[in-house]
A and B are shown apart, each in its own frame.
Chain A
Amino acid sequence: MAKRIAIECAHAASLAAKLANVDVIAAYPITPQTHIVEKLSEYVANGELDAEYINVESEHSAMSACIGASAVGARCFTATAGQGLALMHEMLFIAAGNRLPIVMTVANRCLSPNLSIWGDQSDIMASRDCGWIMFFAENAQEIFDLVLQAFKIAEDERVLLPVAINFDGFYVTHVIESLEALDQEEVNKFLPPRKIPPHALHPDHPTTWGPIGLPDIQTELKKQHDEALRNSKNVIKEVWKEFGDLFGRYYEALELYRMEDAEIAILLMGGSCGTARVAVDKLREKNEKVGLIKLRLFRPFPSEELFEATKNVKVLAVIDKSISIGGVGGPLFTEVRAAFYDLEVRPKIIGFIAGLGGRDVKVEDFVNVAEKSKKVLAGEKIEKDFMFLQVRE
């Protein structure tokens, strides 16, 4: 039976990986992820989880070891953050291109310099084109549920892609929250052990993996990968439905808050959504028609869902916790704008960069976003289409 427990959000990821009965874990310490792999080490040491725990010597090797293990047919898990994700960048593409259902949690952290162990989303945004399914979680419950769902989605033979579950370093990872945890029996019902696929590496059926691809084949290969990632949305929805039917928690690509009659919508991902909700409530008290769109599924990008959710929205304010230096705006902002470009009727889309290197994003910041959005709504000029919040000039 499910039971309600208090748990550190990082440990919610570890608990889910344990209940998923993972076969191989590759672990390398990096703040603010480390608690996840520490807890898994305890589980293995206590015999609560029967897994091979590989103490790799870098994150590059963490992903490499997962790639090797997953190709044999094992259920694999790893976790990383910031510089660690940057170091495994090259391997992310190979894990996805080789269609390996690895699950990884990313405790989102700022990229150096300066050395910053604190949270923002610049790590995963720098790797957003690596061909993984990507979720953003806000709290312990979402982390726990998404990790379990991720294995089911990743290993589905219609998908066979790795999944990254992102959540803010410190602001989410190190917070103790309430979690409705599933028990082993419940998880087993939802997620049986990984079936070893017929193409797995094994001498009984030799296969050649990762050959050299000449120009006559690469385009088709990349297109297939792109199609696989796009098509995974159907399976994601199926799995969310099944999970909801079993356990009562239904998930969607977007989570809408007070969007019914909203003229201004704030769009963001991750842990600051809670703060944004408080801001929305405050603004609603003043009869401002402001709502929140939490983006949970980042890859494949849920354009249709976003169009539907913003049908009546006049101004869409996109918050990026990362920066595309020298680009046309934050990565999420740029992507959202590009997605809407061909619509005949579309909201005015403005972008804000906030929360870099762990700077707290406060209620006032979201109120500020709403104020700027109101100016746009009133047809006033604002300084730029995308701007920094909280910056000292």
Chain B
Amino acid sequence: MDPVAAAILASWTLSLKAAGLATLVSALYLRGWLRLRAELPHKYTVGRLCAFAGGVVATLLAIASPVDTFSGFLLTAHMVQHMLLLMVGPPLLLLGQPVLPILRGLPRWIFKDALGPFLGCRELQSAGRAIVHPVVSWLALAFTIVVWHLPAAYELGLRSQSWHEVEHACFFLAAVLFWWPVVGVWPGHPVEPRWGMVPYLALADVVNTGLSAVLTFSDPVIYPSYRLAPRLWGISALADQATAGVIMWVPGSIAFLVPAVVLGMRLLEPGGRPAVRCAPALPRRAPRVFRPADLLRTPIFGSILRYRHFRRLAQTVMLSLALAVIADGLFGPQVAPMNLAGVLPWTYWRGLTVIALLLAGNVFCMACPFTLPRDLTRKMASPRYRWPRQLRSKWIAAALLATYLWAYEAFSLWDSPRVTAWIAVGYFLAALAVDSIFKGASFCKYVCPIGQFHFVHAMVSPFEVRVRDGAVCGQCHTHDCIRGSQQQRGCELQLFQPKKLGNFDCTFCLDCVRACPQQNVGILRVQPGLSLLEDRRGSGIGRLNRRSDVAALVLILVFGAFVNAGGMTTPVTMWMHRRHSLTALYLCALLVVPGVLATLCVWISQHWKRPAVTSKELACSFILTLVPLGFSMWLAHFVNHLLSLPGWMPPIELLFLGSGLLLTLYSTWRVACRVAADGRMALAAMCPWAALASGLYAAGVWIVFQPMQMRGMVMS
């Protein structure tokens, strides 16, 4: 092949955005089409599927093929692009009757919960009918074509990529509106009289012909950019313009007139009526039994998780890594980026842990290396004592967590492989000591600060260890999931499965899964953050919304996320260097400021509308709703260190933060609705907390845009 021709054919501009959107829409259509075809095979034919696929391909050809690449050089290429967007893509998409398949292809919660109120709104339905009225549709297309072909507007699109995309969006949307009444898209009322579509199309052709005649016969070049563009193969700008005009004229007229002729012929057939006019009646579906996804029942991953020695293997691997970190930290080079103790724990392990929390759940505790020596020791001697009743709270862990956050900055832990190694050694010894004396998983439940980090943030994870069928548990009298059996111990954290609340205090050890004789415990998909809203007593943890120790832990974690990330930004680092007040700063940022702000929010909530709960319950309930925001900051921060993709990180971090804010605000609203008597009171009660969350979000956005030290990264 001629190298120039090969180069032209290789000049594609398919972006991730366009490819992803096309894939998503196609997948939704296909899913819905398959469902509808099972119910109405004569309506949702293969022809409709092919038409829709053709529309997607035509649209992609317009925006991503060499036609797009050369649209800045040749008006002819640009005209072909516009014809695809106006005359080919939209009518083919609409011939696929896409509305019902796409709606049926959406997950049920989106269709019913998110879109349902909008789809059922009378005003929106009326507005929808109005914009696809033939008069409006015709005017929309005519106006769009004429305005965008004015030299000023066309030049704007040629000079600016953003305006070029706006121009294409206008063409595409106007074409969808125009072809809507011609095709007769379901659901919708048919345009009557049907013959009205013939002048509708013919008049559109008049506009198209007028414009194309101007382009074809104009003597000066209308668009200056094409006069300035380098001429390929010596094609003059004027010849290029005339060719573009002819393309607009002839294929454009065919696109308008052929459907007009077809419609006319159908109407003239004796007793003939055009094809289906009304939305097909869908058969009523039987209510579906909702079965959430279960990780333990996934084909390969589920088998691995169910394997009896899986946890031991995972712990052994992690233990080996921990020993390598200790060895390298103690005896290796004391340069953090060149030492496992500087890289593995502070960059990779933390990043991978938060990603696991986001995608699955508390995976780290499942593979925790610190509890493996304990378990081996317990094979020789069992502990005799129970953890003191006075200490059965999260206060110790919260204090340790605050200390760690301070020490991380004060002693530059990320930069000290030897200190990191000693911390790991200390962790092993502490776990061994506590659990050699006290029964159960006392270290995990009451001491381990890492575990608390995972317990709290696993509440926004999408999977939860829980019972599959509550009715099965209702008939169970052995309660092996908590008591254990001869072969398998029960839950060491005293979480009774039927009464378990979310992932809090759950180490994902899967002891309960193996202990349950009915195999009624799984790792089920849940709504992230739902346990933050529930007002009930959870087994082993009580009512979370009345536990001040948990609230304090959450406050330290949430504010710690912003302080920890902010402490690595250049402005904060320079400020701290000048003041030498790290300890006071951390004391304020982790303890004083959160306490004062939370107290202030409670006071405002209480005195504004007086919800019918105590101040303590109000504070604990609302503080829990900050967990998603705090987690999003940890996620943004750690993933930034883990991935460090230039140009990609700010958007990813902002998306994490924005999602965290939205989930926090949603949770705040739900909690406010629970504690307040009506909507106004709820709004008033949530206001200070929403302001606090928005302030933290703003701080997070500021952090994202600051230069950040990439601590502990491997030297390149």
Asked whether A and B interact, the reply is no
Interface residues of A (CB under 8 A from B): none
Interface residues of B (CB under 8 A from A): none
